[in-house]
Amino acid sequence: MHVLADTFDTVIANGTAVTPSGTALADIGVIGGRIARIAAPGTLSGGRTVDARGLHVLPGVIDTQVHFREPGGEHKEDLATGAAAAAMGGVTGVFEMPNTNPSTDNVAALQDKLDRAAGRMWVEHAFYVGATDRNLDMLGALELELGSAGVKIFMGSSTGGLLLEDDANLLKALRNGKRRVAVHAEDEPRLRERKRIAEETGHPRAHPIWRDEITALRATERLIAAARATGRRVHVLHITTGDEMRYLAAHKDIATVETTPNHLTLAAPDCYERLGTKAQMNPPVRDLAHQQAIWQAINEGVVDILGSDHAPHTLEEKAKTYPATPSGMPGVQTLVPVMLTHVNDGKLTLERFVDLVSHGPNRAFGIAGKGRIAVGYDADFTVVDMAANWEITDDWIESRCGWTPYAGFKASARPIATIIRGQDVMRDGALIGKPEGKPMRFHETTRGEGV
């Protein structure tokens, strides 16, 4: 029996939907950009029907770590090209990082990012505010600004000039504010001591030796000690070692954990011999033993979120002599097909993938109305074909850098449509309409514009 409802703007019909109640065939009715009804397949009708027969309908994927580096340049990533890559890859929302030039570390810089995003970003977005030794007293106010994803701390130097390397400033930063703080945890003094290893070797195979496991674990231990001392919740980004995963498992009451598809898919030393500096990122891709430990942490529930750490650089930049080469690789567009291929290979369930890229971001950061297929939530969907066998190539990449470390990767799943607030943004490999992404809202912010 059909439920006729002229008020449904859109019906996503006959897809296999991953909802909090389980994975099953369903119709999803959308009114005013929000989910209004979830019903048995073939029972809803409305103004527009999207036929998802044979496809999986996931809650919109949210990538909580991307670096679009606005303002960009002729050959550099920016908000427009980065968001286009996200939409092409089935990602409906992004948290963008503050290590831009100039840094996003004050109200004016945050507002400038929001102004630049308006009418240019295809996906929903929020921007981290970077902690520096100059803005520690302002962090509590900055994290509550419209469009702020919260505060990001770099304990170790990466690309950009933001850095809080000493415990005194780390404690000051954590005492200023209440929202969960995202942290890049590498021990800067040890990085300085060991940089000669990279310089003497002159090859990226030295990257995980220079930025070794002790460098990562030492910083993570310092971070958790500071979080305990201040009572502040932290989100530890791109964890790369089994030692850190085992340590963080004992501190889940105060710390959420992220890892990346790169650390679950690539492994040293092969990736450095095969890809050279294209495989260079911070913290580094490590060996198979660490990769296996990260997979164990995924399946034991230690990891809360998967972020791509999308940080594209041009081939010209990557062609410099290591370690003068910049760290980072593109990843927002490949996150969904690479990880869903792991799902098809039996390394994690589809429901666990959804938890890591949709439910997890919602839960850890308090995103309002996103991250679930549930009545009342925004109608953001990542529609995928779980039986599509294809090869990822450089020419599929929308990012301005024009390359991916996954060129030649045999994927067994593919994003078919990106739907945001009930509107198609990407379908069948083409962007649709115009960029109308909006700032995300958060339960913990005091400003509720856009409700």
Is the Cβ–Cβ distance between 380 and 426 less than 8 Å? no
d(CA 61, CA 425): 13
d(CA 425, CA 87): 7
The 8-class DSSP code of residue 395 comes to G
Q: What is the DSSP string of 202-226?
A: -SGGGHHHHT-HHHHHHHHHHHHHH
SS3 content of the chain, % helix, strand, coil (to 5): 35, 25, 45
d(CA 306, CA 313): 21
CA dihedral 44, 45, 50, 53 (to 10 degrees): 40
Beta carbons within 8 Å of 33's beta carbon, 6+ residues apart: 9, 378, 379, 421, 422, 423
Alpha-helix residue ranges (DSSP H) falling in 89-212: 107-117, 139-142, 167-175, 188-201, 207-210
Buried b or exposed e, range 198-234, using 16+ CB within 10 angstroms: beeeeebbbbbebbbbebbbbbbbbbbebbeebebbb
Per annotation, catalytic residue among 309, 355, 380, 424:
309
- 281 Cα distance to chain centroid: 15
d(CA 197, CA 211): 10
Tokens of 43: 């029972």
Residue 309 annotated in active site = yes
- Amino acid identity of residue 269, one-letter, is P
Query: What number of other Cβ atoms are within 10 A of residue 114's Cβ?
Result: 19
Q: What is the DSSP string of 300-337?
A: HT---EE---B----HHHHTSPTTSSPP-B--TTTHHH
**Catalytic site positions:** 309
